[in-house]
Amino acid sequence: MVAAVSVLSAFCLGLILYCLRLRATVKELGLNRKLKRNETTFTDSQMMNVAHQAGVAELNEGILKNIYHILNTINVSSSVVSEKVDRMETKSLGKLMRLVKEHENDLANFFEKDERGKKVPGALLQYAEYFGNAYESLVNEIQELTSMIQKLNQIVKAQQAYANVESRLDKVELASLVRDAVAMESRLLDEHRIDVQFELDNEARIKAPKIKLLQVIVTLIRNGCETMVMHNPAGPWVMSAKVSMSSDKVTLQVGDARALEHAEVVNPLASPSDSTTLTRRHFSLYYCANAIQEMHGAFLIFCEAPGHGALMRLEFPNAHAE
């Protein structure tokens, strides 16, 4: 089992490195905002193509990192279980039980008068404690192992659900898509100890290409994580994932809800270049903004500031109203 997990881990690491090289190549093709300042012009279609490639590479890289991280955890847990079983002291217990067996016809006299027999009850009590602790420790490791396998299954199932989805308009259940995106980014959220607070209207539907919208939501989750940790390093970190619906529109909010109170609000497509949110992550958010615009939606960013991260708000026409 350990060997198989190690092989899978190595395979995932290779795929991650491939995605990193792919993303680096994409950046070389144009993901440098200084080109815009130097009057090198990209057409909207070129910018979208480059950003789309970056988005796909980033999404795949994130999924593979999640899988690789979980496989490593499974590998460690299985090794710990194996080592604990190997170290369990069973030989002495076997000797003790053979000694008792030798005196099975005269146990009362053996326990009462033989110095070795007098020590047997105490020794058995010690063994009971020892094996009780060992059992508890192994159960904890196995539960951790089971949890990691379940999480791995969630990520793989979420990815498989969108692997062969064509770029066509579907009536999308937004709440379900948000849950899948969070599952795909579980490694990043766990790594930074960020809790996700869901407030999802399960009836909300929009018309959108599923895979493209999934890429957008994953990107927003990553941006939210980055800004929360950067601007509130002491924590606690709680990411809001809210889907709400009115008669004519559906709204999705992802990020730090505290940004709603006193943050600068910017439009990613018409934002000044000194926006802190956009300077570092211009192209990923540019891709998101254009993708949302193609879906006839609106995209606003409540910028990060000292003490809180950014919050991204998307608004779409309500598919129920059409």
- One digit per residue, the tens of pLDDT, for the chain of length 322 reads 545 445 455 545 555 554 555 455 445 444 444 444 444 444 555 555 555 555 556 556 666 666 776 777 777 777 777 777 777 777 777 888 888 888 888 888 888 888 888 888 888 888 888 888 888 888 888 887 777 777 777 666 666 655 555 556 778 899 999 998 898 888 788 888 899 999 999 999 999 888 888 888 988 898 888 888 888 777 788 999 999 999 899 999 999 888 887 767 777 666 544 344 443 444 567 778 888 888 899 998 888 778 888 889 999 998 876 6
Does a structural domain hold residue 160? no
Look at residues 155, 175, 202 and tell me which one is the last residue of a structural domain: 155
Phi, psi torsion values for 250, nearest 5 degrees = -120, 135
Same domain, 268 and 299: yes
Same domain, 123 and 177: no
**Token digits of residue 9:** 């881990």
The number of beta carbons lying within 10 Å of the beta carbon of residue 158 is 22
Burial of 266 (0-12, 13-18, 19+ CB in 10 A): buried
pLDDT value of residue 241:
94
317 CB-side CA count, 13 A: 10
Same domain, 212 and 270: yes
Does a structural domain hold residue 161? no
Look at residues 155, 190, 224 and tell me which one is the last residue of a structural domain: 155
Whole-Å CA distances, 53 to 4, 31, 38: 32, 11, 23
Provide the domain count of the chain: 2
β-sheet bridge partners, residue 298: 315
Same domain, 140 and 203: no
Same domain, 197 and 106: no
pLDDT value of residue 275:
40
302 CB-side CA count, 13 A: 19
**Token digits of residue 278:** 């956009």
Cβ contact 50:29 at 8 Å: yes
Residue type, 145: L
**Token digits of residue 297:** 């939606």
Same domain, 185 and 278: yes
Same domain, 205 and 179: yes
pLDDT value of residue 41:
47
pLDDT value of residue 239:
93
> Residue 190 belongs to a domain with what CATH number?
3.30.565.10
Same domain, 114 and 191: no
Does a structural domain hold residue 20? yes
Same domain, 83 and 150: yes
3-class SS of residue 233: coil
Does a structural domain hold residue 117? yes
Q: Which domain holds residue 21?
A: 2-155
pLDDT value of residue 313:
92
Where helices occur in the chain by DSSP H, the ranges are 2-30, 34-37, 44-87, 91-102, 107-113, 115-163, 174-184, 186-191, 210-231, 259-262, 276-294
Does a structural domain hold residue 85? yes
Phi, psi torsion values for 39, nearest 5 degrees = 65, 25
Q: How far is CA 264 from the centre of its chain?
A: 28
pLDDT value of residue 49:
59
Does a structural domain hold residue 218? yes
Burial of 58 (0-12, 13-18, 19+ CB in 10 A): buried
Residue type, 168: R
Same domain, 123 and 202: no
pLDDT value of residue 70:
72
Does a structural domain hold residue 304? yes
Look at residues 98, 125, 155 and tell me which one is the last residue of a structural domain: 155
